[in-house]
Amino acid sequence: MNIHEFLTQITAKGYCSFTYLEVKEALAVSDIAARAALRRLKQKGELAHPLSKFYVVVPPEYRVLGCRPADHFIHELMQFINAPYYVGLLSAAQYHGAAHHRPQQFQVVTTQKRRPITCGRIKIVFITKKTITNTPTESFNTSQGAIIVSSPEATAMDMVTYPNRCGGIDNVLTVLSDLVKKLDADKLLKLALITDEITWVQRLGYLLDLIKANNLSEVLLKSLVNRRVRARLLTPLPKKSLILEKLSDQLGKSKSPSQIIKNNKWKLIINKKLELEK
């Protein structure tokens, strides 16, 4: 079998990616010969190489990108590196019909800390989460198979947890104004009740109030009954090492107590004036 026969075989089976070990075994050649064959196809733009020993077949319609769209191969890539995952944040919002602008990066939530992957004009970024087992997900079909995507409720949770990964809390509010149509009150309550971290409940409840989704915000408020709720910032500061210093300046030195904007319902310090994008 030569390299072209191998590619024909895997694409006929509906796959668009393969590993170095698979191609080397199929061709039954030396390392030097296998690498040379792969290098030639990469130079022609017929293959992309997003990760060491992991290759993606690039058909003519995607060669201008230098790679296939990330959702064509992300499931296989995460299996290759043996890491649990789900597509999250703005990328997940897009699947739920709630992205005002196409995300510039493909966002993947996983338990492993990993560097971003750039493959031609495609960029995949990884958001590290200690555990993702309790995060509700859904399966979405792509032209190359199914991928795992956070549910609408989990997408909202993650966006208010990582607003700096979503273009800021202003953009989160804008996306949420569309995503709210997909949120289910019972599922949102269940998610809020099983979580140990409730800061996202406070932030999301406040944003839902702003867009008049009171049926959903009241469900979140109900989940906080008999739980210890501490005052939190609406939008987190960029670096943990500077939080205490900056918070002290914000709440003590630069402003008098009467100037501090608080939301008592959600026990939030409103450190960012929000504007909903039209």
Q: Is 35 exposed, middle or buried (0-12, 13-18, 19+ CB in 10 A)?
A: middle
Listed residue (137, 79, 81, 128) closest to 108, CA to CA: 128
Matching residue, tokens 């199914």: 146
Q: In sequence order, which residues have a C-beta less than 8 Å from that of residue 278 and are 6 or more positions away? A: none
| Phi, then psi, of 166 in degrees rounded to 5 | -120, 25
pLDDT category of residue 260 using cuts at 50, 70 and 90: confident
CATH classification code of 3-62: 1.10.10
Report domain extents, the chain.
Answer: 3-62, 70-269
pLDDT above 70 covers what percent of the chain?
Answer: 91
Query: What single DSSP character describes residue 242?
Result: G
Q: Which two structure tokens, joined as six digits, stand for 140?
A: 């979405």
pLDDT tens digits, 111-157: 999 999 999 999 999 999 988 988 999 999 988 889 999 999 999 99
Residue 8 has pLDDT above 60, yes or no: yes
Percent of the chain with pLDDT over 90: 79
The model's pLDDT over 144-175, given as tens digits with 9 standing for 90+, comes to 889 999 999 999 999 999 999 999 999 999 99
Given a cut of 50, whether residue 89 has pLDDT beyond it is: yes
CA angle, 2 then 16 then 97, to 5°:
170
Report the range of poorest mean pLDDT among 45-59, 99-113, 208-222: 99-113
